[in-house]
Amino acid sequence: MAELEEIRLHIVDELTPSTKERGKYLCPLCGSGSHGAGSTAAFSIEKDGMHGKCFSCGFYGDIFDLVAQRDGLTPADATRQLIEKYAPGAARRAGPSSSRVEPRATEARETARETTQNAGRSYAQEIEKYHAALPGSEGERYLMGRGLMAATLERFKMGYDAGHYFPGVGPLPAIVMPYDPQGHYLAWRSIGPEKHYDKPKSEEAGEEPIYNAAALYSGQPVFVVESQLCAISIEQEGGKAVAIGGTGHNKLYKLIKKRAPAGVLILSLDNDQAGQDEQGKISAELEAQGIPFIQANISGTAKDPNEALQQGTLRGNVAAALQSVDEARRKQEEERKAQRQQESAAGYIDGFFEAIAKSKSTPAISTGFPDLDRLLDGGFYPGLYIIGAITSLGKSTFCLQMCDQIAAAGHDVLFFALEMSRQELMAKSISRLTFTLSRARGMAQDKAKTTRGILSGKKWSTYTREEVELIAAAADEYKAKISGHIWFYEGVGNIGVEQIRLEVEKHISITGNLPFVCVDYAQILAPVDMRASDKQNVDRNVLELKRLSRDKGIPVLCISSLNRDNYTAPINNTAFKESGALEYGSDVLMGLQFLGMDYQDGEADKAREKRIRELIKTQKAQGNEGKAEDIQLKILKNRNGKSNTEAIYHYTPYFNHYAEELEGYTKVENEDNPFTGSKKKRPL
């Protein structure tokens, strides 16, 4: 889902950046980077922006994996929690589409604790004393003269101090404004001709918080204004509001960075130049942080919202601003619904037929083996192909020959060799070419050269001129027809799916060509998670190769070993080593085995095992004598085609050569269904 992909981009929001190492984060699982001056942060974000990894504890995963492990949640609970927190329209982020609900009691207490920075003292007793002094006082007359009603004064516990001492000024009558119901903070404002403001000492009460900060987490749209009286005025007229205390906005930044508002913010600072300048700065910061907000002049021609209250225009202006938020919410919902509809099949049906039309000019990639092409309905298509066989049966040789044949046809190939070197692979190809050229020239088979015969410089001094010329001709053919379209990547346990994806993307960006990818082999790809089991790592690697084939629209061929239990049994889906993903994640699953290993009707287990052991012994003896072995390729699974089909090969291991032509076999075409290809079987 597109929504989940967007949530994955928020993984960085769950992390704390390292102050010492650029681009690194403190690991929330093992704590790397947070153990003192000598601690090194080992957590980093992958280039896709969605996955993170820690080189200290071995974690690799997305935001869902991280939160599940960090908080001890099940995957389902972690997903639900993150959808509520980050999904477009969720109450935690997008105010316009949030339900208007008051925070629970526990949330209110948490909000008070987070937003007051109180050093420990409670002002509850002073607030009650000042509030009791308000009725009938000069302070009450002053507040009512500013348009506030008795119920509002009671709701916000407004108070009166007949002689508060203002530093540098002296005692003056003042109104008292509590910041939260728990009494963590309060402030004094004089009511004389000159306005004076006082607050507790920071060492006693901490930094001055946002006034009425709990409103930010009510789930409703919240007006942001300068003064406490303006915020109270808006609350009286049906809105939710906070006051930032003049034009200083740093407290607001700190608070929303620590905990994002639950509703959209409505910026409504004073109408003077200072207020509008500050509103512009806040707008830029909110936009940079991705916090939903709008700007609304609810003061009209008045200086500020409280003055608009006195003029009788504030209620209508507040309602109009809230209506704008509702309209924005409805528009957002309509856009989300339209986007959701676009994500349905209806949004892709035109592209579906365009892709079919485009496929006329991008046919399947031929394997170079006609029978196998027919079995695969033309060759390789975008998707994940898995091929397996027992050790020393020639699965790497078979795949290398296909890659050479694909490269010779002009298609780019990326071959990730996790076991053999580039030199060895090139020598195997040249060895095969000496074999085919010698046969084409009517030369004796012993003139062709093995892989070791190509690589060993000492042996060259014993070769005849004819043999040296044969090697040179094979090398020239390899250079002219194959080498310009094949790239080898060497590695032993240090190449993983991430590097494979990067190399594919690099190749596409530089050449503009979509390559055919071969990975040799699945079980020795670098592990994704050092703490995970072999099976878990193979599963993850196979699924990432599947994702690569889908994302880039390319065929990916991955070689696999088999379970040892299947060495003397016919190949089947369960034979593939270490991973169910090899079977379930592949689009096509293929296996190689010696011809004749399939079950025979009425054959007892012991008799079958004895027959197969003798068969393998005989076939390997032929190979060791420089003769050909009879190999059967079985297509065990074909997501978009016919399964349980086969092709027969003549494999000469001495010279790394596979051929579909077998002496003593008859080709039988399936006329009823041409997509099943053809089979070769012994004549009756």
Q: Does an H or E element contain 527, and which?
A: none
Look at residues 26, 307, 322 and name the one whose alpha carbon lies nearest to residue 145: 307
In this structure, which topology does domain 105-335 adopt according to CATH? Dna Topoisomerase Vi A Subunit; Chain: A, domain 2 (3.40.1360)
The sign of the dihedral angle between the CA atoms of 331, 334, 340, 342 is: negative
The pLDDT of residue 93 is: 37
**pLDDT, tens only, 555-614:** 999 998 887 766 778 888 877 765 666 777 889 999 999 998 888 888 888 888 889 889
430 CB-near residues (< 8 Å, 6+ apart): 449, 454, 471, 474, 475, 478
Q: Are 390 and 567 in contact (CB under 8 A)?
A: yes
Q: Are 496 and 525 in contact (CB under 8 A)?
A: yes
Q: Does the pLDDT of residue 108 top 70, yes or no?
A: no
The rounded percent of the chain whose pLDDT value lies above 90 is 46
Task: In whole angstroms, give the CA distance from residue 498 to residue 52.
Answer: 12
**pLDDT, tens only, 147-204:** 999 999 999 999 999 999 999 899 999 999 999 877 889 999 999 888 899 999 888 8
**pLDDT, tens only, 444-461:** 888 899 999 999 888 888
Tokens of 358: 């485009």
The overall average pLDDT reported for the chain is 84
What three-state secondary structure class fits 103? coil
**Which one of 389-398, 425-434, 515-524 scores highest in mean pLDDT?**
425-434
**Which one of 322-336, 419-433, 670-684 scores highest in mean pLDDT?**
419-433
Reported as a pLDDT band with limits 50, 70 and 90, residue 662 is: very low
* Averaged pLDDT, 493-509: 89
The pLDDT of residue 34 is: 67
The rounded percent of the chain whose pLDDT value lies above 70 is 86
The pLDDT of residue 682 is: 38
Look at residues 596, 653, 593 and name the one whose alpha carbon lies nearest to residue 625: 653
Domain boundaries of the chain, sorted by first residue: 2-87, 105-335, 370-599+628-681
Task: In whole angstroms, give the CA distance from residue 557 to residue 655.
Answer: 23
The pLDDT of residue 484 is: 94
Q: Are strands 486-490 and 413-417 parallel, antiparallel or unpaired?
A: parallel
* Averaged pLDDT, 282-294: 89
Q: Are 57 and 32 in contact (CB under 8 A)?
A: yes
The pLDDT of residue 653 is: 93
Please provide the distance, in angstroms rounded to a whole number, between the alpha carbons at the two ends of the chain.
Answer: 56
The pLDDT of residue 109 is: 43
The pLDDT of residue 100 is: 31
Phi, psi for residue 643 in degrees, rounded to 5: -100, 175
311 CB-near residues (< 8 Å, 6+ apart): 300, 302
Q: Does the pLDDT of residue 25 top 90, yes or no?
A: no
Phi, psi for residue 413 in degrees, rounded to 5: -130, 135
The sign of the dihedral angle between the CA atoms of 261, 262, 266, 270 is: negative
Q: Does the pLDDT of residue 420 top 60, yes or no?
A: yes
Quick one: CATH architecture of 370-599+628-681? 3-Layer(aba) Sandwich (3.40)
The pLDDT of residue 111 is: 47
CATH superfamily of 2-87: Zinc finger, CHC2-typedomain (3.90.580.10)
Task: In whole angstroms, give the CA distance from residue 477 to residue 422.
Answer: 18
Q: Are 308 and 302 in contact (CB under 8 A)?
A: yes
- Cα–Cα–Cα angle for 627, 628, 630, rounded to 5 degrees: 145
Reported as a pLDDT band with limits 50, 70 and 90, residue 112 is: very low
Q: Does the pLDDT of residue 482 top 80, yes or no?
A: yes
Give one DSSP letter per residue of 52-78, joined into a string.
Answer: EEETTT--EE-HHHHHHHHHT--HHHH
Phi, psi for residue 45 in degrees, rounded to 5: -100, 135
Task: In whole angstroms, give the CA distance from residue 296 to residue 293.
Answer: 10
Tokens of 81: 């929690």
The pLDDT of residue 402 is: 97
Task: In whole angstroms, give the CA distance from residue 305 to residue 307.
Answer: 5
Q: What one-letter code names the amino acid at 677?
A: G
Task: In whole angstroms, give the CA distance from residue 660 to residue 648.
Answer: 6
What three-state secondary structure class fits 574? helix
The sign of the dihedral angle between the CA atoms of 513, 519, 525, 528 is: positive
Q: Exposed, middle or buried by CB within 10 Å (0-12, 13-18, 19+), for 36?
A: exposed
Tokens of 251: 């407290």
The pLDDT of residue 426 is: 95
Tokens of 520: 């040799």
The pLDDT of residue 180 is: 84
What three-state secondary structure class fits 309? helix
The pLDDT of residue 348 is: 65
Higher pLDDT, 37 or 58: 58
Strand (E) positions, 521-640?
A: 555-560, 588-594, 629-638
Q: Does the pLDDT of residue 683 top 50, yes or no?
A: no
Q: Of the ranges 96-110, 210-224, 253-267, which one carries the lowest mean pLDDT score?
A: 96-110
Q: At what angle do helices 422-440 and 395-408 cross, to 10 degrees?
A: 70
**pLDDT, tens only, 51-104:** 888 877 778 889 988 988 888 888 778 888 888 888 655 444 333 333 333 333
Query: Cis (ω within 30 of 0) for the bond into 521?
Result: yes
